[in-house]
Chain A
Amino acid sequence: EAQVTQNPRYLITVTGKKLTVTCSQNMNHEYMSWYRQDPGLGLRQIYYSMNVEVTDKGDVPEGYKVSRKEKRNFPLILESPSPNQTSLYFCASSPGLQETQYFGPGTRLLVL
């Protein structure tokens, strides 16, 4: 089944404790993105990647890192999480620049 998977789905952590949210797609898509969803703000792009080893900042990159060492994986790293990073995070992928993006199931993160 063609899909985007994320792990973990739920995570509670404390301020400053490094964490990684994994994202994987099995559709051989070139483009991958991370978004965060906050009430009243919709979804906002954090980072995106156009291909292996090619990444760039989105609208809200502060406090996040990403890497794209393999085409199928695009992990999101929070090196020192803070409470303002409490949010719902989505990974998405698309086959090309003008193509529709398909979203993973979301990861709900709570930083205490």
Chain B
Amino acid sequence: AQTVTQSQPEMSVQEAETVTLSCTYDTSENNYYLFWYKQPPSRQMILVIRQEAYKQQNATENRFSVNFQKAAKSFSLKISDSQLGDTAMYFCAFMTPYVEGNKLVFGAGTILRVKS
């Protein structure tokens, strides 16, 4: 079975500091896509960043970047210069479109609290 593990149920960080959320996954496929979604208290699911497994270069989006280690099946999210608005639940997910269609497999999530 394909699984995603987020080993940190909760984390906290001071405003303006950097925090890294960990994610590991298990799949036997070679062609897949990885995602981080943010869920603020409003419950809306917001795409943070996306990574194609065939790309070696780590994806970045402004203050958000990933460390993609394909051999280790690791996909961590780094948030730089943390802001109060980053407080949310963060979900790691992956998709194997040629095996299971557009199904996203999610981890259990990490609650991030940014403190002032």
Q: How many angstroms from the CA of A108 to the CA of B37 in the assembled complex?
A: 19
Q: How many angstroms from the CA of A108 to the CA of B106 in the assembled complex?
A: 19
A-B contact count (CB 8 A): 60
Tell me, rounded to whole Å, the shortest Cβ–Cβ distance linking A10 to chain B.
Answer: 11
Question: Do A41 and B102 touch across chains, with their CB atoms under 8 A apart?
Answer: no
- Counting CB contacts under 8 A, is B45 at the interface? yes
Interface of chain A, helix or strand or loop or mixed? strand
Please, which residues of chain B bring their CB within 8 A of the CB of A94? Answer: 102
Question: Do A100 and B47 touch across chains, with their CB atoms under 8 A apart?
Answer: yes
- Counting CB contacts under 8 A, is B91 at the interface? yes
Q: How many angstroms from the CA of A88 to the CA of B89 in the assembled complex?
A: 14
Question: Do B104 and A101 touch across chains, with their CB atoms under 8 A apart?
Answer: yes
Tell me, rounded to whole Å, the shortest Cβ–Cβ distance linking B98 to chain A.
Answer: 8
Tell me, rounded to whole Å, the shortest Cβ–Cβ distance linking B88 to chain A.
Answer: 14
Binding site for A on B (CB under 8 A): 4, 33, 35, 37, 42-45, 47, 50, 91, 93, 95, 97-98, 101-104, 106-109
User: Which 8 A-B residue pairs are closest in the complex by CB-CB distance?
Assistant: A42-B106, A103-B45, A43-B106, A97-B97, A106-B43, A45-B103, A31-B102, A98-B97
